[in-house]
Structure 1
Amino acid sequence: MTSTPISVDLPREHAVSERGFLAVSALLFIASTAATVAWHNAMPAMTEMPMAWMPMCGQTWWNFAASFACMWTVMMVAMMLPSLLPVLRRYRVALHLAGKPDVGAPTALAGAGYFAVWALIGAMVFTLGAALAQLEMTWPVLARVVPVASGVVVLAAGALQFSAWKARQLARCRAVPALGGAAWRFGLRLGLRCAASCAGLTAILLVTGVMDLRAMATVSAAITLERLAPAGERVARCIGTVAIGAGLFLTLCAALP
């Protein structure tokens, strides 16, 4: 599906609305980035040791899970908002052209639906991370296998960047879904598309350090570039080449004595 161009003649009040939308988006990005950095300084990277995936003394599993869910969602806002913003702008233009009098509420609902998908992914990540941490504590031999497995995951994620499946998912993510239905469902569809598109890059983030600022910045830049660059597929393959090299390096470093 082709996307609606942004450069459309719109009434002056719509231009004012767009400036407000960009201002709110900028404030949201700054706030989420600051919160992510604060969380990073307060806790170790989630892959450094099994205990990082366990509740602290006096903390229940429910409180720990809720804290992780908040951390993950705020982190995803900081990472995904730069690549989501142009799509939401095209969505707003489409709403304007369809004669919708107020596009602020639908935009907010669409964004909420988009990040609800990432919140659900965060719940799955937490469950998997906690389960693996328990296994590592039960069988310490697994701790020696994890670094090799991490390198293999990065290598596989790099290879995935060259696949036809990746090209299809990237094309679907770059297109604006149809306006039919509620804004919330629009956001959900967009979130599912984009989560599939950057599944490999998200896997790289998980194995290199969920709360590692360098990993977050690198993965966020890669996701933004491949979604927004005119030659998105070519950019994805370049990213894949770098990831394959990094995966080979990590695997060899972990395998060699």
Structure 2
Amino acid sequence: MGNADASRGAQAPRSLVSERAFLGVCALLFSACTAVTIAWSASMSAMGAMPMPGGWTMSMAWMRMCGQTWPGVAASFLGMWVVMMAAMMLPSLVPMLWRYRQAAGTTGPTRLGRLTALVGVGYFVVWAVLGMAVFALGAALAALEMRLPALARAAPLMSGVVVLSAGAFQFTAWKAHHLACCREAPGPGRGLRGHAGTAWRNGLQLGLTLGLHCSCSCAGLTAILLVIGIMDLRVMAAVTAAITVERLAPAGERAARAIGAVVIGAGLILIALA
């Protein structure tokens, strides 16, 4: 009896140190990704933007500069995208990872840390794949707008329609389903108990599943970021705040609908201005 109590007493300080280390690593990662995103945004602003018919400007993120190859441009965009998404998603992802760790039960801190990292890797792999698709679509659309002045002149109106549609998306059953999956805590010991190989596979699968649900849930808000300003820090901050609130607020679905109402209003204003 005394030995069991002593063992539990020894595990408690180790667990506390492990959780503090986890939060410290997350804080450092968030700070680093935010700093790099701000630096990238400043760099893109310094490069300027291309004036387009219709009174708007096109970001240089979609263009190939002198001496660049398309694979190089795509790789640069993907790196920027992953870092930016890490800065934007970590505030809402960390509580999920925390619940995952709490569901672990008793496991070694080293193994727990590696499994937590694996869940995070799986999560951002989904966002990286999405970034590849976003770049291909964005570059193709930018090329069309440069060749077709009529399409370029319609871009402000189309942007307003996209924002309006993103607001309406916040009220759909699809959004509610994926948001509920994002907010759901992992089951006790999911991905941690059993054979080591099974634990690794389950951890990666959990990360991929979370990433898929969260990317689907964020589809409308991500679309706003793309059409309003992919490297605009103000838009990024607003989208990050919206994602975090709807994921962590006690009444997430109501928060999502309130955000949707605001976005619909913004979309109507953009359409009127266009």
Output the TM-score relative to the length of structure 1: 0.91
Q: Report the RMSD for the aligned CA atoms in angstroms.
A: 1.7
Q: Is 1:210 matched up with 2:242?
A: no
1:1-257 equivalent positions in 2, closer than 5 A: 11-44=12-45, 48-49=57-58, 52-95=61-104, 97=105, 99-101=106-108, 102-178=111-187, 179-180=190-191, 181-254=201-274
Structure 1 equivalent of residue 53 of structure 2: none
Amino acid at match of 2:217: S
Amino acid at match of 1:29: F
Q: Which runs of 5+ in 2 are unaligned?
A: 1-8, 50-55, 192-200
Q: Is the 8 A contact 1:50 1:134 kept in 2?
A: no
1-structure distance, mates of 2:31, 2:215: 22
Q: CA deviation at 1:14?
A: 1.1
Q: CA deviation at 1:160?
A: 1.2
Q: CA deviation at 1:48?
A: 3.3
Amino acid at match of 2:107: K
Which fold has the larger relative contact order, with Cα–Cα distance below 8 Å and residues 6 or more apart in sequence?
1
2-structure distance, mates of 1:176, 1:195: 17
1-structure distance, mates of 2:68, 2:30: 30
2-structure distance, mates of 1:165, 1:105: 33
Deviates more, 1:182-191 or 1:27-36: 182-191
1-structure distance, mates of 2:181, 2:77: 30
Output the TM-score relative to the length of structure 2: 0.85
Q: Is the 8 A contact 1:226 1:233 kept in 2?
A: yes
Q: Is the 8 A contact 2:61 2:77 kept in 1?
A: no
Instruction: Please give the secondary structure, in 2, of the residue aligned with 1:221.
Output: helix
2-structure distance, mates of 1:124, 1:184: 22
CA deviation digits over 1:105-138, x for unaligned, max 9? 0011110110111111110110000000111111
1-structure distance, mates of 2:136, 2:186: 31
Q: Taking every aligned residue pair, what percent have the same amino acid on both sides?
A: 61
